Amino acid sequence: EAQLVESGGDLVQPGRSLRLSCTTSGFNFGDYAVSWFRQAPGKGLEWISFIRSKPYGGTTNYAASVKGRFTISRDDSKSIAYLQMNSLETEDTAVYYCSSGRFYTFWGQGTLVTVSS
Amino acid sequence: DIQMTQSPSSLSASEGDRVTITCQASQGIRNYLNWYQQKPGRAPVLLIYDASNLETGVPSRFSGRGSGTDFILTISSLQPEDTATYYCLQYDSFPYTFGQGTKLEIK
């Protein structure tokens, strides 16, 4: 059974950095792209970042709201994806989810990031 | 960016009712559309992928259809456990975009 577990969420001050991890098991992680999504309190879902599998170049895409501040990466040897978040803003407060699988079938339970002074 | 217009934003229906939720894309997205169900405090759960394919383990009362710009999610006979918020997601092109969500409650 596929499992994704996000970790690294925390309460941080504006302008600080945080790195989220998405630890996976139960499927061939290296075969699939990974996306990060987020959901601000009481709001809808938002896609923020994507990384292709290595066979497809491992290239990345970002939402305009995070481009230049967030960096997605992957370590296929550990079946983990990361989201490095720099220059955090209060608007980045949200539950962050990672997702993978052929049709974004698999999702983690989410990790809460709170950006506040 | 592709805008996904989802309607209605909320819906109240009775057990056993047939319910439809629509998503309209601002430009053609072929069939690259998923439907998700999300319950409070939980991660989204994939119901339908590629517009019309039922994800494994999802009850057959859920179905999806459409292609291009217009898509429909149907629940053929509403059950109490279907109370949730439903989202469509287009993944034809970046940035991926969601509909605004439909909050479904049982009368």
pLDDT, mean over chain B = 97
**Interchain proximity B36–A45, CB inside 8 Å:** yes
Rounded CA separation A49/A62 (Å): 4
**Interchain proximity A45–B94, CB inside 8 Å:** no
Condensed to tens digits (0 to 9), the pLDDT of residues A10-62 reads 999 999 999 999 999 999 999 999 999 999 999 999 999 999 999 999 999 99
Per-residue pLDDT of chain B (107 residues; tens, 9 = 90+): 999 999 999 999 999 999 999 999 999 999 999 999 999 999 999 999 999 999 999 999 999 999 999 999 999 999 999 999 999 999 999 999 999 999 999 99
What share of chain A in percent tops pLDDT 90? Answer: 97
Question: Which of 68-97 (A) contact B at CB < 8 A?
Answer: 97
Q: Which residues in chain A are closer than 8 Å to B45, comparing Cβ atoms? A: 107
Q: Which residues in chain B are closer than 8 Å to A45, comparing Cβ atoms? A: 36, 38, 44, 87, 89, 98, 101
Q: What is the pLDDT of residue A103?
A: 86
Rounded CA separation B66/B20 (Å): 13
**Interchain proximity A103–B89, CB inside 8 Å:** no
Instruction: Tell me which residue of B72, B40, B81, B77 sits closest to B61, measured CA to CA.
Output: B77
**If you count residue pairs, one on A and one on B, with CB atoms under 8 Å apart, how many are there?**
49
Mutation target among B3, B45, B49, B96 for the A interface, most CBs of A within 10 A: B96
Nearest-by-Cβ selection for A45 from B42, B53, B87: B87
Q: What is the pLDDT of residue A102?
A: 87
Q: In sequence order, what are the residues at sequence separation of 6 or more whose Cβ sits closer than 8 angstroms to the Cβ of residue B30?
A: B67, B68, B92
Nearest-by-Cβ selection for A103 from B46, B87, B99: B46
